[in-house]
């Protein structure tokens, strides 16, 4: 019931004297039960002093092993103020951030940086930034309006048209049929009351319906504007908000829809109180007769477009017939489009590029166009290549992210793609709609080059709805890549031939298309800047919108001098070509979708735990150059994972945004002007300069991010512990090949290991394994002989005390002879006791001196519950000290050469990838997927326990590399649960071979290479064994003992459980673990490894649960009980605050015999 105890006499702050019993309950015994038992003993004691009992995890000891009275007085005695203490809260492992130990890559790239823009224009000189395309080549038969275009293509290209692939069905709509269906639909719209010039919202569930409705509106002089489908109509979504805003801004127009969306939208409108929202079902509009066609003027508005692709009070952009025709005429030259070409589009038709570039443009030019839903390609990016191949397409497009999706998908399938695409006929793949980035395009071109796509096939393009889409083009290739550096503000940018310190890399968007003109303006929006100066990009062309509908303020801002349109982008011009560097307006573009900063800020600021009006949203360039949302906010109270999770969920639900960079700062670090205006640019710049790094880490720590890890690193230590001689040695069976060890045991029966056990066995048996000179003989003595003896004991049903003895197994004072094979004996004895109720086992490590027999005799008089005792000058027991990781230089250097055993296993693949090492991986089976481990990996099919073959493989690798081995990463091991009684000597050797004989072979390789080092993986099961784990425990204890005695730098890492990796991928060890050891994800495991490798050499335990009974006894003492409210005990010591448990019947205590991995 009581594992350890100490009694002190103390005087309280009330002046009274007390006896205080500090008691350590045994495993499975509650503190309350121990207190009752101690008080029962005190009741029969004649000592008149009041008795107080404090239950603790351990008794602190001084340098000679006696109870440390000063430390004990620092432990609280809750019973002194409350006769019914409550359980104290257990220790909680905190978290550490890897960034406090090593330099981590930033979650952003170095550019583009709007901060490069020139803030002044007073002294700028140089060639003008004004640039323009060639004169527009207008052919005699070119249409002047979209109506002319559809009529002409229906007559001249009756075999061309639109193909829609949706829900597994391909629909072909020839242009004559499109014209006829659109005219018949227009008849129904006019019957419904729509008149020329009226705005109409298109909100259709299918692409075919959208295209027919669009042309019905164009032919009737209506002004259509598209809003995408909502993922749901049961509650508000970003799409439905956008639809409502557009509906209100356009004076409550009709909404055209179809299918189930009609009822869904009507029900939603009724639920939201939008009584005036009128939804027309397109299926009901198809009449038998074709309507008369409205013949517009070229300058009339053909369609409307909303300025924002995501949500909010969008500006309504007017696009004219002339502007849309001019787009097609310019694209015909600049992007190599020809009559009869095939266009493939998978982006939504509410996006201006999807509808103008890949539908209206092809109609004007007399081309086929193929459309598929966006979701289909997002789910299977390689479908894009299928479509290009199947329809022998010449043109397609995507925002930058789509090119990345294809590159990533091809990387995943590796050398086994599902088909061999023929893309040699593809003439252009346009990258438009968001920032084009070099890493993404380079990966894409490398991935699809084998299928016929060339660098120049990719067309980098810039445009916006206000310019009727793309207005500049640039073939991808070396000429498109620009490395620029600005010496200081006001000076022109310097164009460099290659990347350099302080330089930023951009991709040029090329020269303007025919009929378009651009310039760079200063901050005032009217002063023209010279070339190679960053400023506001402005455009002038017949394609430019005539203005935003009914929005004089927006028009004044967009046309600062009344002539040039301000695009809101920052750019510079070099040799007549435009390069975009960022956004001047507070709009974020992610995956081609526009988001207003203030809307994101409003949504986040309304959440619990976030201080209102202290939220800033802005874009930062991710490492691949693609824009990523960053949100800086001030928590209302202490930052928690719940607050962060709420922000992430809300951003995902409201805007569909994931992978958001969250930065939680205090109010003093949130930038506002004196008038309260949020300074987003200032905070963005501070973030990119690294000033917010600690705040980023606080967020990652709160949500257990990928660069964080549990604070669970411990080093073993030995603590003095004085034992009292409380029993006689009595009858003892001493099994040893050294009879002199029994000279101080006059009553002992001494037997050699070769002797047969008698039937009459005493209840105390002491096993001292032999000390042969060779490794092979020592291993047999410490395992084979012991296995045979324990098997015989099991057969006899023996119960009693089993003591295993070693001499200098543990390195404590440095004088030990170092007999590490005895670790096998120790493990066998301990697991034997676990598997056989009634057997108590413990291990005694003698110093290996002349007085060992006397020390052994003395130790056999102790009564204690320790599992391991080492005797040096005083008895010592195992303890643990927490490690506060610090930066260090012990990690393997990139490019160094390492031997790896067990590198093909799950843990090996997790820890080796990305280290940048030269690796020689050895294993008994054939090599597999070595490229996952690094760029320079060799493989040798070698048994790690074959010392000669291992040395030969290492020597061969060293010759090939031209360098000496830096060290060994020893991961090899075999895990299998099996009762000791069922494990034969042959099977035992198989199970322990990699960790025992393999470790000896690794040691020989290292000893032959002075200056080399070892990183060895052990298991915490060696410290916290369970039933059935004897071979695994013994093998790992042998490894740890060997590592202690090697005369070279060693990191011996004893691991907890990796979730779903290694031995835990094939065994349900987590279910059996029940909290004994901490579990961690692969990302946490990698972080822990990195942290451990930066610490000084030695043994480290990773994953110790400080609440586990055995572990808590090895840690500094703490109270097991507290009180329900803050306070101090009668001696003035602060009390822990806990909660009263639910009262249940106390179960019988049974030994824990569940196996884990």
Identify the weakest region by mean pLDDT among 579-593, 1057-1071, 1106-1120: 1057-1071
Looking up residue 683, the CATH number of its domain turns out to be 3.30.300.30
Q: Please state, as a whole number, how many other Cβ atoms lie within 10 Å of the Cβ of residue 260.
A: 10
Contacts of 241 (CB under 8 A, 6+ apart): 311, 312
- Scored b (16 or more CB within 10 A) or e, 916-934 reads ebbbbbbbeeeeeeeeebb
469 dihedral zone (left: phi>0; alpha: psi -120 to 50; beta): left
Q: What is the pLDDT of residues 524-558, one digit of tens each?
A: 899 999 999 989 999 999 999 999 999 999 999 99
Q: What is the pLDDT of residues 735-758, one digit of tens each?
A: 999 899 999 998 899 999 888 787
Indicate if the pLDDT at residue 115 is higher than 70.
Answer: no
Which helix (H) or strand (E) is 807 found in, with range?
Answer: strand 800-807
Q: Report, as an integer, the average pLDDT of 982-1002.
A: 95
Better-predicted residue by pLDDT, 312 or 230: 230
Q: What is the pLDDT of residues 1087-1145, one digit of tens each?
A: 999 999 999 999 999 999 998 889 999 999 999 999 999 999 999 999 999 876 655 44
pLDDT of residue 1152: 37
Task: Please provide the average confidence, as pLDDT, over all residues in the chain.
Answer: 90
Residue 363 lies in a domain: no
Residue 793 lies in a domain: yes
- Scored b (16 or more CB within 10 A) or e, 117-145 reads bbeebeebeeeebbbbbeebeeeeebbeb
Domain identity same for 778 and 866: yes
Residue 240 lies in a domain: no
Domain identity same for 978 and 1080: yes
Q: 1157 pLDDT band (50/70/90 cuts)?
A: very low
pLDDT of residue 1145: 45
Residue 639 lies in a domain: yes
Domain identity same for 908 and 1041: yes
The two three-digit tokens of residue 918, written as one number = 């030269």
Residue 949 lies in a domain: yes
Residue 860 lies in a domain: yes
Indicate if the pLDDT at residue 137 is higher than 60.
Answer: yes
Quick one: which of 779, 766, 774, 775 has its CA closest to 738?
766
Q: What angle do CA 1137, 1141, 1144 make, to 5 degrees?
A: 160
Better-predicted residue by pLDDT, 613 or 340: 340
pLDDT of residue 849: 92
Indicate if the pLDDT at residue 230 is higher than 70.
Answer: yes
Q: How far apart are CA 971 and CA 911, in angstroms?
A: 10
- For residue 901, the enclosing domain spans 897-1114
Domain identity same for 976 and 924: yes
Residue 206 lies in a domain: no
Indicate if the pLDDT at residue 851 is higher than 70.
Answer: yes
Indicate if the pLDDT at residue 123 is higher than 70.
Answer: no
pLDDT of residue 1144: 44
Q: 674 pLDDT band (50/70/90 cuts)?
A: low
Burial class (CB in 10 A: 0-12, 13-18, 19+), 902: buried
Q: What is the CA radius of gyration of the chain?
A: 39
Q: Report, as an integer, the average pLDDT of 317-331.
A: 97
Q: Please state, as a whole number, how many other Cβ atoms lie within 10 Å of the Cβ of residue 796.
A: 12
Q: How far apart are CA 350 and CA 310, in angstroms?
A: 11
pLDDT of residue 444: 95
pLDDT of residue 116: 45
Coil, helix or strand for 780?
helix
Q: 110 pLDDT band (50/70/90 cuts)?
A: low
Residue found under tokens 């190679």: 532
Domain identity same for 693 and 759: no
pLDDT of residue 676: 62
Indicate if the pLDDT at residue 686 is higher than 60.
Answer: yes
CB contact at 8 A, 735 and 753:
yes
CB contact at 8 A, 357 and 334:
no
Q: 111 pLDDT band (50/70/90 cuts)?
A: very low
Domain identity same for 989 and 1090: yes
pLDDT of residue 1154: 30
Looking up residue 844, the CATH number of its domain turns out to be 3.40.50.11460
Alpha carbon separation from 598 to 318, 601, 670, 820 (Å, rounded): 24, 5, 16, 67
Final residue belonging to a domain, choices 1078, 1097, 1114: 1114
Q: How far apart are CA 937 and CA 699, in angstroms?
A: 37
Q: Report, as an integer, the average pLDDT of 433-445.
A: 87
pLDDT of residue 928: 77
Residue 808 lies in a domain: yes
Longest dimension (CA), the chain: 123
pLDDT of residue 499: 85
Domain identity same for 681 and 746: no
pLDDT of residue 1148: 39
Q: What is the pLDDT of residues 811-827, one digit of tens each?
A: 999 888 888 999 999 99
Q: Report, as an integer, the average pLDDT of 590-601.
A: 77
Task: State the Cα torsion 1112-7-1138-698 to the nearest 10°.
Answer: -40
Q: What is the pLDDT of residues 914-929, one digit of tens each?
A: 788 999 999 888 887 7
Count: domains in the chain: 4
Residue found under tokens 């015999």: 1153
pLDDT of residue 309: 40
Domain identity same for 609 and 670: yes
Q: What is the pLDDT of residues 92-101, one digit of tens each?
A: 778 999 888 8
Q: How far apart are CA 565 and CA 467, in angstroms?
A: 9
CB contact at 8 A, 634 and 640:
no
Domain identity same for 695 and 750: no
Domain identity same for 1048 and 924: yes
Identify the weakest region by mean pLDDT among 533-542, 770-779, 851-860, 1030-1039: 770-779
Q: Is the dihedral of CA 940, 946, 949, 951 positive or negative?
A: positive
Q: What is the pLDDT of residues 15-25, one digit of tens each?
A: 999 999 999 99
Q: How far apart are CA 2 and CA 318, in angstroms?
A: 85
Domain identity same for 834 and 930: no
Residue-by-residue DSSP string for 703-762: TT-TTEEES-EEEEEEEE----B-S---S-EEEES-GGGGTT-TTPEEE-TTSPPPSS--
Domain identity same for 906 and 1029: yes
Looking up residue 1067, the CATH number of its domain turns out to be 3.40.50.720
Q: Report, as an integer, the average pLDDT of 833-857.
A: 95
Q: How far apart are CA 582 and CA 570, in angstroms?
A: 5
pLDDT of residue 114: 43
Indicate if the pLDDT at residue 148 is higher than 70.
Answer: yes
């Amino acid at each position: 019931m009581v594992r350890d105890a100490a009694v002190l006499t103390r005087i309280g702050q009330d002046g009274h004297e007390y006896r205080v019993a500090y008691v350590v309950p045994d495993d499975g015994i509650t503190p309350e039960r121990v207190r009752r038992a101690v008080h029962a003993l005190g009741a029969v004691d004649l000592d008149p002093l009041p008795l107080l009992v404090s239950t603790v995890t351990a008794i602190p000891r001084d340098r000679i092993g006696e109870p440390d009275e000063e430390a004990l007085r620092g432990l609280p005695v809750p019973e002194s103020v409350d006769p019914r203490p409550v359980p104290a809260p257990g220790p909680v492992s905190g978290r550490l951030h890897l960034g406090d130990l090593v330099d981590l890559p930033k979650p952003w790239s170095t550019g583009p940086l709007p901060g490069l823009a020139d803030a002044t224009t007073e002294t700028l000189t140089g060639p003008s930034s004004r640039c323009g395309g060639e004169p527009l080549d207008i052919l005699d038969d070119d249409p002047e309006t979209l109506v002319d275009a559809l009529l002409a293509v229906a007559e001249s290209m009756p075999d061309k048209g639109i193909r829609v692939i949706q829900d597994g069905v391909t629909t072909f709509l020839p242009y004559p049929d499109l014209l006829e269906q659109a005219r018949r639909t227009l008849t129904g719209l006019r019957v419904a009351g729509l008149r020329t010039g009226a705005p109409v919202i298109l909100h259709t569930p299918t692409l075919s319906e959208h295209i027919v409705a669009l042309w019905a509106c164009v032919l009737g002089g209506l002004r259509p504007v598209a809003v995408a489908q909502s993922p749901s109509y049961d509650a508000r979504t970003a799409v439905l908000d956008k639809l409502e805003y557009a509906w209100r801004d356009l004076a409550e127009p009709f909404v055209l829809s179809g299918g189930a969306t009609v009822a869904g939208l009507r029900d939603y409108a009724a639920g939201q109180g939008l009584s005036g929202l009128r939804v027309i079902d397109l299926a009901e509009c198809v009449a038998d007769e074709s309507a008369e066609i409205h013949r517009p003027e070229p300058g009339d508005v053909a369609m409307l477009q909303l300025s924002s692709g995501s949500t909010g009070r969008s500006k309504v952009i007017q696009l004219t017939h002339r502007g849309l025709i001019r787009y097609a005429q310019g694209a015909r030259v600049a992007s190599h489009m020809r009559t009869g070409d095939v266009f493939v589009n998978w982006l939504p038709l509410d996006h201006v590029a999807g509808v103008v570039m890949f539908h209206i443009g092809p109609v004007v030019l007399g081309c086929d166009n193929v459309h598929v839903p966006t979701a289909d390609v997002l789910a299977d990016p390689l479908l894009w290549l299928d479509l290009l191949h199947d329809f022998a397409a010449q043109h397609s497009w995507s925002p930058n992210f789509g090119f990345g999706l294809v590159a990533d998908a091809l990387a995943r399938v590796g050398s086994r793609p599902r088909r061999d695409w023929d893309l040699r006929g593809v003439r252009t793949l346009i990258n438009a709609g968001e920032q084009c980035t070099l890493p993404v395009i380079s990966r894409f071109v490398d991935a699809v080059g084998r299928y016929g796509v060339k660098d120049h096939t990719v067309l980098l393009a810039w445009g916006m709805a206000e310019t009727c889409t793309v207005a500049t083009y640039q073939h991808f290739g070396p000429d498109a890549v620009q490395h620029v550096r600005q010496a200081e503000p006001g000076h022109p940018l310097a164009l460099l031939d290659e990347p350099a310190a302080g330089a930023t890399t951009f991709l040029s968007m090329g020269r303007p298309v025919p009929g378009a003109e651009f310039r760079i303006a200063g901050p005032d929006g009217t002063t023209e800047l010279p070339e190679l100066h960053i400023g506001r990009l402005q455009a002038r062309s017949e394609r430019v919108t005539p203005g935003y509908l009914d929005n004089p303020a927006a028009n004044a801002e967009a046309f600062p001098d009344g002539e040039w349109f301000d695009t809101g982008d920052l750019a510079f011009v070099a040799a007549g070509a435009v390069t975009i560097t960022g956004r001047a307006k507070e709009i974020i573009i992610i995956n081609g979708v526009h988001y207003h900063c203030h809307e994101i800020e409003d949504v986040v600021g309304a959440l619990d735990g976030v201080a209102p009006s202290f939220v800033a949203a802005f874009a930062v360039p991710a490492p691949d150059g693609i824009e990523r949302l960053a949100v800086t906010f001030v928590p209302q109270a202490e930052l928690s994972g719940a607050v962060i999770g709420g922000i992430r969920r809300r951003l995902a639900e409201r805007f569909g945004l994931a992978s958001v960079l969250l930065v939680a700062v205090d109010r003093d670090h949130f930038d506002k002007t004196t008038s309260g205006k949020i300074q987003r640019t200032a905070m963005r710049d501070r973030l990119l300069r690294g000033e917010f790094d600690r705040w980023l880490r606080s967020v990652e720590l709160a949500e257990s991010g990928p660069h964080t890890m549990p604070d669970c690193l411990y080093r073993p230590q030995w603590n003095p512990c004085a034992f009292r001689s409380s029993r006689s040695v009595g009858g003892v069976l001493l099994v040893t090949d050294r009879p002199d060890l029994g000279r101080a045991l006059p009553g002992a029966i001494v037997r050699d290991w070769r002797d047969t056990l008698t039937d009459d066995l005493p209840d105390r048996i002491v096993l001292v394994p032999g000390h042969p000179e060779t490794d092979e003989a020592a291993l047999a003595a410490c395992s084979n002989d012991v296995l045979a003896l324990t098997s015989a004991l099991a057969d006899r049903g023996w119960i009693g005390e089993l003591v295993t003895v070693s001499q200098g197994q543990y390195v404590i004072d440095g004088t030990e002879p170092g007999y590490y094979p005895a670790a096998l004996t120790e493990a066998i004895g301990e697991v034997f006791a676990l598997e056989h109720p009634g057997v108590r086992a413990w291990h005694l490590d003698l110093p290996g001196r002349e007085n060992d027999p006397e020390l052994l005799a003395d130790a056999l008089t102790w009564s204690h519950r320790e599992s391991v005792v080492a005797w040096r000058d005083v008895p010592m027991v195992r303890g643990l000290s927490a490690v506060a990781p610090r930066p260090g230089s012990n990690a393997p250097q990139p490019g160094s050469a390492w031997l790896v055993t067990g590198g093909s296993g799950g843990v090996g693949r997790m820890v080796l990838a990305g280290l940048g090492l030269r690796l020689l991986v050895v294993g008994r089976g054939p090599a597999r997927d070595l490229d996952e481990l690094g760029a320079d990996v060799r493989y040798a099919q070698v048994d790690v326990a074959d010392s000669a073959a291992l040395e030969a493989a290492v020597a061969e690798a060293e010759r090939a590399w031209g360098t000496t081995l830096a060290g060994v990463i020893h991961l090899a091991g075999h895990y299998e649960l099996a009762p000791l009684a069922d494990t034969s000597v042959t099977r035992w050797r198989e199970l322990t071979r990699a960790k025992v004989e393999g470790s000896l072979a690794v040691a020989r390789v290292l000893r032959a290479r002075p200056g080399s080092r070892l990183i060895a993986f052990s298991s915490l099961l060696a410290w916290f064994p369970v039933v059935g784990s004897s071979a695994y425990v013994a093998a790992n204890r042998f490894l740890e003992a060997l590592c202690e005695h090697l005369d070279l730098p060693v990191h011996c890492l004893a691991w907890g459980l990796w979730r779903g990796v290694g031995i835990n991928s094939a065994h349900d060890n987590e279910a059996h673990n029940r909290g004994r050891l901490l579990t961690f994800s692969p990302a946490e495991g990698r972080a822990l490894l990195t942290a451990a490798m930066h610490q000084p050499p030695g043994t480290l335990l990773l994953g110790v649960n400080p609440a586990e009974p055995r572990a808590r006894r090895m840690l500094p003492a703490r109270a097991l009980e507290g009180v329900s409210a803050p306070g101090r005990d009668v001696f003035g010591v602060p009390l822990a605050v806990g909660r009263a448990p639910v009262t249940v019947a106390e179960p019988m205590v049974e030994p824990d015999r569940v196996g884990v991995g």
